[in-house]
Amino acid sequence: MKLGAVLYVYKGEFGLPSIDFECCRVLCLIKFTRCPVEIETNSNPLRSGAGKLPYLQIGDEKFVGYRQIKKLLDREGYPIDHELRLKDRHLSECFANWVFTNLHVYYHYYLYGEPNNFDVTRALYAKRTPFPFNFYYPSTYQKDAHDIISVMGGFDLDDKLEHHNVDYITNNAKKCINVLSKRLGRNMWFFGDHYSEFDAIVFSYLSILFKINLPTNPIQNHIKGCPNLVNFINRISRDIFKREAFNSINTSKDNASPNDPMLTATERKFLESEKKTKILAGIGAVLAMGTFAALKIFYKKFSSSNDYYDGPIQYDDDDIDEEDMD
């Protein structure tokens, strides 16, 4: 690879190397093959020429999208499947197409099509897009999802929610997860001891669907039920994307809110418990200070009354009138 090559991608969130599927699988190509490329996450998608990320720039030349970047890597001597046997390469392509058929429509519906979820996704893309383009740019992903869902899902996003055939795409996605879990078994990679393009595709889909915090995401718990896939995601995130993995949420910050849609369930629970603890501690402190103030006032009054009290009154017998005694 020529010196000065820079890859522009969206910054990650929730511990992901990127919030975007296309960016994530390009990052896998770069990291798996150890291609010497600088990774830039503070990127402007409008500078790519196509209005989307990722893109790789060498001098004035730009390679936009996964296909162009992969062809460049193959040409420069960084093919991702070079360790696979010819039979496994063909099998990898077949599996990749099958996963695409079952997970691609689910991914686009629950990230860009489902109304409540898109509020979260829109915020993620808007925060990574410069002003003023962040107001309208995220909606371009929803427009792309509209076409994908109508073709692969069999329904229109403009229809009422009760007409969205979510059971169909969810069941297909769950079946796909089950097959992937069985295929991986106890292996590190899907084709034994060597990484492949298929590993990059599976990680990019599953890591986002597993880690992103959405109001509605039925497949998330299904992935949790497959420990080997969870280990696959966490191992790659930890060992390969240690530098790129990003999480903007810091639960130690005072301004973090439990209602923030970008919080994970664990972080939200922590903040809620922390808030309750702070409230109880505040009430306890107020009561303690009030009690101390009351005791201090009482003590002062008691002390001041003692200043005029010299002990018991002494009566002389001579002072008592004899008539009174009678």
Please give the structure tokens belonging to residue 112: 């860009």
- Point out the domain boundary residue: 56, 76, 96: 76
pLDDT in tens, 61-99: 999 999 999 999 999 999 999 889 999 999 999 999 999
Co-location of 97 and 231 in the same domain = yes
Mean pLDDT of 25-54: 91
Classify residue 324: in a domain, yes or no: no
| Amino acid sitting at position 120 | V
Co-location of 17 and 162 in the same domain = no
Q: What is the pTM of this model?
A: 0.75
Nearest to 28 by CA among 107, 91, 96, 105: 96
Classify residue 321: in a domain, yes or no: no
Co-location of 152 and 177 in the same domain = yes
Mean pLDDT of 298-309: 48
CATH number for the domain that contains residue 32: 3.40.30
Q: How many domains does the chain have?
A: 3
- The count of C-alpha atoms lying within 13 angstroms of the C-alpha of 54, restricted to the half-sphere facing its C-beta, is 32
Mean pLDDT of 128-134: 85
The C-alpha angle 308, 312, 317, rounded to 5 degrees, equals 130
In this structure, of 121-130, 158-167, 205-214, the range with the lowest mean pLDDT score is 158-167
Classify residue 247: in a domain, yes or no: no
Co-location of 124 and 215 in the same domain = yes
DSSP state letter for 1 = -
Co-location of 105 and 182 in the same domain = yes
Classify residue 151: in a domain, yes or no: yes
- Point out the domain boundary residue: 201, 219, 240: 240
- Point out the domain boundary residue: 240, 270, 292: 240
Co-location of 295 and 209 in the same domain = no
In this structure, of 203-212, 286-295, 316-325, the range with the lowest mean pLDDT score is 316-325
Asked if 208 and 21 count as a contact pair (C-beta separation under 8 A), the reply is yes
Q: How many residues does the chain have?
A: 326
Classify residue 316: in a domain, yes or no: no
Classify residue 52: in a domain, yes or no: yes
Co-location of 184 and 230 in the same domain = yes
3-state SS class at 211:
helix
Residue numbers of the domain that contains 263: 253-300
What share of the chain has pLDDT > 90, as a percent? 55
Co-location of 165 and 46 in the same domain = no
Classify residue 16: in a domain, yes or no: yes
Q: How confident is the model at residue 157 (pLDDT cuts 50, 70, 90)?
A: confident
Co-location of 110 and 10 in the same domain = no
Average pLDDT over all residues of the chain: 82
Please give the structure tokens belonging to residue 19: 């919030």
For residue 294, what pLDDT is reported? 63
Classify residue 317: in a domain, yes or no: no
Mean pLDDT of 188-213: 94
For residue 262, what pLDDT is reported? 45
pLDDT in tens, 265-280: 444 554 455 455 456 5
Co-location of 267 and 223 in the same domain = no
Mean pLDDT of 138-166: 88
Co-location of 28 and 110 in the same domain = no
Co-location of 229 and 272 in the same domain = no
